[in-house]
Structure 1
Amino acid sequence: MPVEAPDHVQLAMPPGGEDAARRFYAGLLGIPEVPKPAHLAERGGCWFERGALKIHLGAEQDFRPVRKAHPAFLVTDLDALIASLADAGFTSIEDEPLEGYDRRYVTDPFGNRIELMQPCGAAMMIDDSASGSAE
């Protein structure tokens, strides 16, 4: 039986980091928080979900951030998101080009690596349609 699709991404955070997670994932990345099932909520952590995008953060006593492995999120306006993150004190890092994408890395409040990706030309296509020009 083949794997069909990912269901969610689980990242770790230190115990008590829920408020910082909410500010980053819901506030800056715009992924709404959803309630954890009661029997799991007792463990701490928080879940953020919008449609098929599901990021779960679990509290880990002996927490260490993930610096290489990472989730990658598709975004619609990378420049604006990077500016918002910078205003909130999060520095982005450029990496080797990846054909077809503009991308940056940022770390969440706990040091976990996050990749933000925008298909090349996506912003231009939005700008072109807004100006009424046709190709």
Structure 2
Amino acid sequence: MKIEFKRLDHVMLCIPVGTENEARKFYGEVLGLRELTDLGYVLPKGAMWFEIGDVQLHIRAESIQHYSERHPAFEITNIRNAQEILESHGITIKYESLIPDRIRFSFRDPFGNRIEFLEML
């Protein structure tokens, strides 16, 4: 017997309490994600849900203690364009170790969450 995984459903990131409007601006405007607001039910614990292809990004405010290397990695197309958009908003790009079949970099959102973007070659 084994666990049979179907797909990644969502990734949850945390933000400091009181920064919800800043999160909506960053994820909705800077990254261009669509916030899921008309689900027919209230989201738990004041969470925000955004759509990324067929995966959801869940954001919830909580007390954040320190930075972590934990992160979601999102495959995208036109990674250079994404880099330019992020840098135009003053976001620092960190180039990651080389992996032969992909181009990748990471960055921190305004709340310290690490996010990786990658493009398959």
Q: TM-score range by the shorter chain?
A: 0.7 to 0.9
Aligned to 1:18: 20
Aligned Cα root-mean-square deviation (Å): 1.8
Question: What are structure 2's unaligned runs of at least 5 residues?
Answer: none
Closer/same/farther in 2, CA of residues 69 and 28 from structure 1, 3 Å limit:
same
Large movers: runs of 4+ above 3 Å: none
RCO comparison, higher one (Cα < 8 Å, 6+): 2
CA distance in 2, matches of 1:53, 1:64: 27
Identity %: 33
Please give the secondary structure, in 1, of the residue aligned with 2:81: helix
Question: What are structure 1's unaligned runs of at least 5 residues?
Answer: 121-135
Aligned to 1:82: 83
Q: Show CA shifts across 1:53-112 (max 9, x none).
A: 20000111x213552111001111111111111111111000110121111101111010
TM-score (norm 2): 0.85
Query: Which is richer in strand?
Result: 2
Tell me if the contact between 2:8 and 2:55 (Cα under 8 Å) persists in the aligned partners. no
Count matched residues: 117
Matched ranges for 1:55-94 at <5 A:
55-60=57-62, 62-64=63-65, 66-94=67-95
Aligned to 1:30: 32
CA distance in 2, matches of 1:50, 1:114: 13
